[in-house]
A and B are shown apart, each in its own frame.
Chain A
Amino acid sequence: MSKEFENLYLIDTFKKVVKSKKIEECSKFLAKENLLFEKNSKKIFSKVFDITKNQDSVESLLCLRCRVSDPIKNAISGLYKKHSSIYEIDYLNMMSYVLDDYGEKYLKTYDDKIDKRKEKVFKWSNLIKIEKNKLRPFGVRVLLEFNSDLANIDTWTYHKVRSNYELKSYLESFGLNLKGSWALISEQSSSRVKEAWRLYGDGQMNMNEIEALHKSYVENYKPAKADYKKRKKTIMGWYPDYKFLQSLNPKQESTENLENIAAAIRKFISTAKGAPQNFRQLEGLRSDELFKNKVYVENSDDEINSEEKFINLIQNSVRKAALEILGDILKSEKIKWKENNNKRLAWELYSDGLSQREIAKRCNHKQGWVSKLIKEKIILERISLLAATQLKEYVEFESLKKDPDKIDDLIMELRDYLISKQSDSDVSILKSVLKEVLRK
């Protein structure tokens, strides 16, 4: 167990890997304190933390820095493992925001300079003088704020990593949101929490206790966050303190039960994700089938002519809207093609009817890259919205102005039409218009 306190995880920038480095000073310190063969990690941490704070030992702080580097590395590794098959996140980039401790003996300032004056020696009494936001490395910030009454060091570290602004921004640029447990619990209905607990709950609490705890949590969370926001001028980094935990029903001593509830909710949500986001799949449907499927009623004696007229109006409006929207999207996209030819290729392959997976493979990227580049759902929405607003100007579509249901039906019809296949082609209407725009 003492190994966690003598091995520091760091980025080897030459080999481009994360490696573990044994810190001799830590081994000596642990031997001196008779902790080298201690099996209880909790006991080691407690003692080393005490020495760090009360005796201001450089070596003991170094041991703690080793200790937090382990959950930091685990948090990022787990996240990378889970999402890297779809999203183009970079392992070392992610690590670099939070795993930036190289075992320095002197404190670094925020502009990365090392100052070897006495007051800059890497020890607790010097750390607490520095403004938290300017303190580096990240692991030391985790230690400085650590409250052993509320959580263990691993859980605490995971929460701190999750609140790291740079890491959050990096992941958001790839379409991922680091959702924290505290907001997650507050957002759920009582019925969902109970169902999640029934299916995945792991703890001693019964259903009534869970319900009461969640209810009191939701009631207290909003004012607590509002107060934090007012004091800190930010809403990042809130953590339930002892006062908050004691305001809950039943009163809580630590965050453990709340963590268990959050874990059950996460499992519940990830299982429910199996449900389709977009249920309708009309790739196999042909556009002529789609229109023949309907009866278009108009106050006219000649129903066939009026149906044809309707179809023509719709088709022309969709085509006009598709040309306009796709032209607009590609205008801004084309600027990026000069520096990244793969983007051009992706659009071309998409217009040929290839799937996201196939496009990703051919462009040597991941699927997330394709879905971020070509947002089909939004393109369809934009075109159908524009076409519908144009159609309302025709007297034949007058009734749209009075009936929201008809607007819903029309928009759905337009989207179906866009993704259906033309009678003489294997690609959808949308993709054939895209091909035309790409050729221009």
Chain B
Amino acid sequence: MIEENKNNNNEIFDALPIPEDAVILKPKKVLDLSQLALLGIKEMIRQRGINLKVKKKRDVTELDCILEINNFYIQVIFAGFSSDQIIVPLDRWYKINNAPQIILAANIDEESNIVSFQGIITAKEFINIYLKKNAKGQSFEIPLSEFKGGINRLLSFVQILDSKALSRSGLTSKLNSQNSLLKKIGFSRRNISIAALIIGSVIFGPNIFKPKLSYDLASISLTQIEVSSDKRAILDDPNNYNLCILSPDIEASNINEIKISRISFDRPIIYSPYPLNEIIISNNGQELWKKRGRSINDRIEGIIQWPINPLKPNQEYLLSITPKGAAPGFSAKIKINTTSNEGFKQLEILEKSLGNREYKWIKAIDENLKKDKNLAYALLFSERLPKSQILVEAKNKLISLDKCTK
């Protein structure tokens, strides 16, 4: 018999919340995943009082099935409730002009007959992912977070879209040769989707909704923080170059010598528009990360993405920054306090949830400029930021800030 181990009770035995929009089915016999998915969709359609017929095609596999709703061909693929990735079988995508138009990701708990839907991706979105991932073979795995909108997005598409608006052409050999040709001449896959978007906008005309940043960027100023030395309490040096910093943003009414920045997510950015001599991140007096300008002519410049392990809730770090020109041993100190677990965000999850949609990014940045500037800056300077004139202009405005307030 193996060692007794009572301490892992909580880890072994726990319950997870059932998603709000999940349906708990009560089938009379044991059903397979495709049957559960079909029943789940039917039940959700019934609950919404919508008149839609759902037909399940015969060719079912243990990984997927095909449903037809309002002349749309939908590939349903299966994952569990705690899954992070999902397998997309590709067989159906090689059937030229007979490929699925939409992929629906179903989360199914087979033991409890609970079904919910993570969301969908359209054929066009799928092909973009396929090209980006350089996928090959019979199937490939993609993050579940790529699927958006729950069952509602599916129901809106099948009810509003013309069924010809979504392609059935699948993964054609033309697409593959086009991709390799583009690669040869040096186009990235990102260019393809942007080009497609431009063509799309010519065909379908101007957008109905054009998002704007409502926040007045001109009202943002850099925070000035006095440099000090651990060895001498008061800086009485003619060579006193204070730090002017944009991110991390300092709490208002912060009159302490060490300024405090409250961070509600795991990867803030560090940015001052002025050159810096040194940045040190420490925790409990222990140096965790350090960056120094290589020479007088080569200082630290630009945006620094959080360089160490992601922050966690209820942590405290000290950021010591020496601006260019400050006397040796002097630095501006910012205490980074992370918020509690409740509402603490992972930047990557948030970025993925915004996808490649300009509207969503603008909205998220706009809202956070009002309530959480650190998060707004991290989003605006994110590597995942979609191509957007509005956002590029906003970035440029922040980069060129020079108003420094104490």
A residues contacting B by CB (< 8 A) are 41-42, 45-46, 71, 74-75, 78-79, 82-83, 148-149, 151-155, 158-159, 161-162, 168, 171-172, 175-181, 183-184, 186-189, 191-192, 222, 229, 233-236, 254, 256, 259, 262-263, 265-267, 269, 271-272, 274-276, 279-282, 289, 293-299, 310, 328, 371, 375, 377-378, 381-382, 384-385, 388-389, 392, 397, 399-413
Contact = CB atoms under 8 A, between A and B. Distances in A.
A43 to B, nearest CB: 9
B12 A259 contact: yes
Nearest to B212: A293
Given A229-B30, A381-B150, A404-B157, A274 B2 contact: no
Contacts of A79: 13-15
Interface residues of B, number: 80
Contact of B9 (A78, A293, A299, A388): A78
B111 interface: yes
B188 to A, nearest CB: 21
B92 interface: no
A181 B12 CA distance: 7
Q: Which of B15, B80, B155, B200 has the most CB of A within 10 A?
A: B15
Contacts of A161: 13
Interface stretch (B244-252, B319-327, B357-365): B357-365
A75 B13 CA distance: 7
Interface in B1-51: 1-6, 8-18, 20-21, 24, 30, 48-49
Given A149-B1, A280-B364, 17 more contacts: A79-B14, A148-B1, A154-B4, A158-B9, A158-B13, A168-B112, A172-B18, A176-B16, A269-B16, A276-B343, A294-B210, A385-B152, A392-B160, A401-B165, A402-B162, A409-B208, A409-B359
A160 B343 CA distance: 34
B99 to A, nearest CB: 16
A74 B30 contact: no
Contact of B208 (A154, A279, A378, A399): A399
B79 interface: yes
B221 interface: no
Nearest to B166: A404
A152 to B, nearest CB: 5
6 contacts: A151-B2, A152-B2, A235-B30, A266-B11, A275-B344, A401-B160
Q: Which 7 pairs between the two chains have the least Cβ-Cβ distance?
A: A263-B11, A187-B80, A189-B85, A274-B344, A176-B15, A148-B1, A187-B83
B353 interface: yes
Contact of A378 (B1, B21, B111, B122): B21
A193 to B, nearest CB: 10
A175 B389 CA distance: 44
B112 A276 contact: no
A399 to B, nearest CB: 6
B110 interface: yes
B263 to A, nearest CB: 13
